[in-house]
Amino acid sequence: MFFLARYVIRRVIGGPLPPTPEFDADVDLMIKDAVLREARARLLRDGDWRVAKQTIEAAGTDWALRSYRLGVFAGLASADDTWFDGWMRAEPADPSAALIWAQVLGGRAGEARGGASAAKTSREQFDSFHTLSEKAAEASVRARELADPGDPGPWIELMSSCFSARAGQLNEFYAEARRRDPHNFAMHEIAVVLTCAKWYGSHERMFAVAHAAAEAAPPGHKSTLLPLWAHFEYAMREFAWEDRSKQAQKAVRKYFRKSEVQRDVDGWIAKFRSAPPTSEQLSQVRHWMAVYYCLTGRRKDAKIVFDELGQYVARANEWGWFYGDMEYGYLKNWWWANGVGGV
């Protein structure tokens, strides 16, 4: 009743609302890369692996773009590997195919473990996770042997395998990937996660990695926002670890409203905003900014980011961490940012 009244008032006073967000829209609507969008459609229609190979190779030495395209095709191979099997049989030494296989195995390892905490994960799940992670690491080594010497992709995939296999080699893998692509977002994101307190590091080490990456990155680069991700990891671990109560949510909001936290985060957002984005793939970091502005009660700033995210959105874990459910958290705050309801 109160929501409906607020909705009517918002429509009368504030004018039309943006289109209501959709979470299960056609994947093509989410892909900003026109070349990839067309190639994906052709692959699904014709099943010709050469389309994937050509699209990945067309990225050249734009390693971030190459990785993005490769990841989309890895997702398709994971869902239905008929076309991919044809590629592997025809060109078993192709470096892109080898890296796709490593990503498929890494994805299967994550699915085998599940997303629950260690206390809620069975021994069977852990065993499958470790076995598949080791296979993913072996596939990544094979991809590294076949790849262009300057390609950071296999090294980043080896970093991913460190969640279970070869964790002691993280520093080596990270250094090698950094040497090839110093500001690679995916690389730094994995490093931040692996050095956080819930994996192999500490809050201090995690923040040090995030701040170093953000400091080195040029304005407009997504890596400048990694400290915000580190703050989310900190808040989740300290206040919302297996706790989605109102009390936990209150503690999270209190943390993000600290002046020192906002000074840090606002500074990195300012650096990101101070130049045109260096990537089209901005959904993830826009979710980060939207969550941050909602937690700090900054409605106008939140609305700007929600408008940038647009009508077709992917689910983001942070909404679930701090609001109990990804879709609920997003929609509740989207309505608030558009002048309907409260947070």
One domain, residues 234 and 103: no
pLDDT per residue of the chain (343 residues) written in tens, 0 to 9: 445 544 444 454 556 788 999 998 888 888 989 999 999 999 999 999 999 999 999 999 999 999 999 999 999 999 988 999 999 999 999 999 999 999 999 888 878 777 666 667 777 887 787 888 888 889 999 999 999 999 999 999 999 988 887 778 999 999 999 999 999 999 999 999 999 998 999 999 999 999 999 999 999 999 999 999 999 999 999 999 888 788 999 999 999 999 999 999 999 999 999 999 999 999 999 999 999 999 999 999 999 999 999 999 999 999 999 999 999 999 999 999 999 876 6
Show the domain range for 252. 188-343
Alpha-carbon span 326 to 39, nearest angstrom: 30
CATH code where residue 72 lies: 1.25.40
d(CA 275, CA 220): 5
**Residue 2 pLDDT:** 45
- Among the candidates 153, 181, 209, a domain finishes at 181
Check if the beta carbon of residue 228 is closer than 8 Å to that of residue 271. no
Sequence-ordered alpha helix ranges (H) in the chain: 2-14, 34-46, 49-57, 63-79, 82-90, 95-113, 123-146, 153-161, 170-180, 185-194, 203-216, 226-239, 246-256, 259-273, 283-295, 299-309, 317-323, 326-337
Q: Could you tell me the pTM of the whole model? A: 0.91
Structural domain count of the chain: 2
Residues 176 and 321 occupy one common structural domain? no
171 plus 214 within the same structural domain:
no
- 256 and 276 inside one domain: yes
Residues 259 and 168 grouped into a single domain: no
- Boundary of a domain, candidates 181, 209, 234: 181
Q: Which of 135, 156, 181 is the last residue of a domain?
A: 181
Q: Are residues 199 and 330 in the same domain?
A: yes
